[in-house]
């Protein structure tokens, strides 16, 4: 009896592993790996990436401000962008991430800045508008000529202190303050009458003329 042996063989190996001899009749099995999917159609084998497994096994490391301790997350879990204390996070089409600053309005009324409803940021335009509407109120009192009303003097507006008839006004900035001093003019004009308990007219040689209720 003659025995015929099938001596045909071939070797197979992966990367740097030891080669295995595959003889006739041996079965070779191709298995899925991490992120790899193998499909068979007859004698054809297709090796492709398994995206579902890749997203679960592939990790993304990230950090903030160059901090050494990095965080890791899988692609399947993804990233979650949350609101900050003064920001609102949104994710738009194509994964565009946007942070909007939380703002509040700043207004002024009656010369004072109103307290905002929330402790958020304000825009430069609101700040400028509020500053331009802040001020102090001025009015006239005492012996008023005509009528007078409380008027708001806004930031940047000029107030002029004028001297009326027989008055002199002096501005003094030497003290680092805004000082305005009013006094009577030494020569009074245009008066219809003057009322005084005592009137002294300086004379020569120390002899003054005094006019009071007892006469001269």
pLDDT of residue 4: 62
CB atoms inside a 10 Å sphere around CB 134 = 16
Q: How many structural domains comprise the chain?
A: 3
Query: Cα separations (Å) of 204 from 131, 143, 186, 187?
Result: 62, 38, 20, 20
Residue 84: predicted pLDDT = 94
Low-confidence ranges of the chain (pLDDT < 70): 1-7
Residue 66 and residue 4 share a domain: yes
Rounded-to-integer distance, Cα 49 and Cα 37, Å: 6
Q: Does residue 161 sit in helix, strand or coil?
A: coil
Domain end marker among 43, 77, 111:
77
User: Is residue 131, in this structure, part of any structural domain at all?
Assistant: yes
Burial class (CB in 10 A: 0-12, 13-18, 19+), 35: middle
Flag whether 146 is in a domain. Answer: no
Domain that holds residue 187: 160-216
61 and 87 inside one domain: no
Give the per-residue pLDDT at 6: 62
Half-sphere exposure of 44 (CA within 13 A, CB side): 2
Whether 203 is in a domain gets the answer yes
Residue 152 resides in a domain: no
For 140-174, write each residue's pLDDT tens digit. 999 999 999 999 999 999 999 999 999 999 999 99
Beta-carbon contacts of residue 183 (< 8 Å; ≥ 6 apart): 167, 168, 170
- Whether residues 5 and 71 share a domain: the answer is yes
Could you tell me if residue 53 is inside a domain? yes
């Amino acid at each position: 009896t003659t025995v015929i042996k099938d001596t045909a063989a071939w070797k197979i190996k992966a990367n740097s592993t030891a080669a295995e001899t595959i003889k006739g009749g041996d079965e070779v099995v191709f298995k899925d790996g991490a992120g790899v999917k193998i499909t068979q159609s007859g004698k054809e084998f297709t090796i492709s990436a398994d995206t579902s497994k890749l997203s679960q096994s592939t990790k993304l490391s990230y950090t903030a401000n160059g901090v050494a301790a990095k965080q890791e997350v899988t692609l399947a879990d993804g990233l979650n962008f949350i609101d900050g204390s003064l920001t609102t996070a949104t994710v738009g089409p194509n994964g565009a991430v946007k942070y909007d600053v939380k703002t509040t309005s700043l207004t002024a009324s009656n010369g004072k800045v109103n307290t905002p409803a929330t402790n958020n940021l304000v825009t430069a335009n609101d700040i400028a508008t509020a500053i331009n509407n802040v001020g102090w109120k001025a009015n006239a009192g005492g012996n008023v000529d005509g009528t007078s009303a409380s008027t708001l003097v806004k930031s940047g507006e000029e107030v002029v202190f004028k001297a009326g008839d027989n008055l002199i006004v002096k501005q003094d900035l030497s003290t680092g303050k805004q000082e305005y001093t009013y006094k009577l003019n030494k020569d009074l004009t245009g008066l219809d009458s003057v009322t005084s308990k005592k009137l002294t007219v300086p004379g020569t040689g120390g002899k003054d003329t005094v006019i009071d209720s007892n006469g001269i």
